[in-house]
């Protein structure tokens, strides 16, 4: 599947540019490059398995977050305060080393007359996570997609994660974590909303 993308959106084309067979051959080349024998029994199926895994790791390139946010509900009897979903698991890969990023996201929004199903918040996190990322961009993409898709009065996103490009290679600081925040609308303009959000997510439940 050919994919042309900008920061947040994707355009899909039916004709593939690179076949699974070509991708598997690239994995065999890497196995040889590290000093392995891709023809030995334990590695015969490894290229196929890696490509299958990559399709799962990076499936966000073929998904559109705006389509997940189209269905909203207006029967909320005037509810207009924060909706917060905590501890959404994040599993992504850094674009610099393709090493895993593992952590949690906390997402809140202030409805503008309508709300969205709670699973759609986690789905939005998932879609953007399943791409090569920097944590800073990931945080912003989630917030901006929810702000636009829900026409929300404000959105807050916090991600706390471990980058294995830091823990397993390079500086090798196993306990280092990275925290990013991004706020839109009322969360950005009104510190009382921002402070409530940060207080709620810091409370262990």
Q: Which residues are catalytic?
A: 94-97, 135, 163, 165
How far is residue 184 from each of residues 71, 117, 144, 149, 152, measured CA to CA in Å?
21, 20, 8, 13, 9
Q: Closest by alpha carbon to 86, among 108, 60, 58, 67? A: 108
In the chain, what are the helix, strand and coil shares in percent, each to the nearest 5? 40, 25, 30
Q: How far is CA 132 from CA 56, 57, 59, 196, in A?
A: 12, 9, 10, 31
CA distances from 57 to 18, 52, 87, 125 (A): 17, 9, 20, 13
């Amino acid at each position: 599947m050919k994919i042309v993308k900008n920061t947040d959106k994707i355009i899909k084309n039916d004709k593939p540019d690179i076949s699974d067979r070509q991708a598997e051959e690239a994995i065999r080349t890497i196995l040889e490059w590290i000093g392995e024998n891709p023809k030995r029994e334990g590695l015969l199926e490894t290229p196929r398995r890696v490509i299958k895994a990559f399709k799962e790791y990076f499936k966000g390139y073929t998904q559109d977050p705006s389509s997940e946010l189209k269905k909203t509900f207006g029967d909320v009897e005037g509810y207009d305060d924060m909706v917060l979903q905590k501890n959404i698991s994040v599993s992504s890969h850094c674009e610099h080393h393709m090493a895993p990023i593992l952590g949690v996201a906390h997402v809140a929004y202030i409805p503008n007359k309508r709300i969205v199903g709670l699973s759609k918040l986690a789905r939005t996190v998932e879609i953007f996570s399943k791409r090569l990322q920097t944590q800073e961009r990931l945080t912003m993409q989630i917030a901006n997609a929810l702000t636009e898709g829900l026409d929300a009065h404000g959105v807050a996103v916090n991600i706390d994660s471990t980058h294995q490009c830091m823990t397993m290679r390079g500086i090798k600081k196993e306990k280092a974590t990275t925290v990013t925040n991004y706020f839109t609308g009322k969360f950005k303009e009104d510190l009382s909303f921002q402070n409530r959000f940060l207080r709620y997510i810091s409370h262990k439940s």
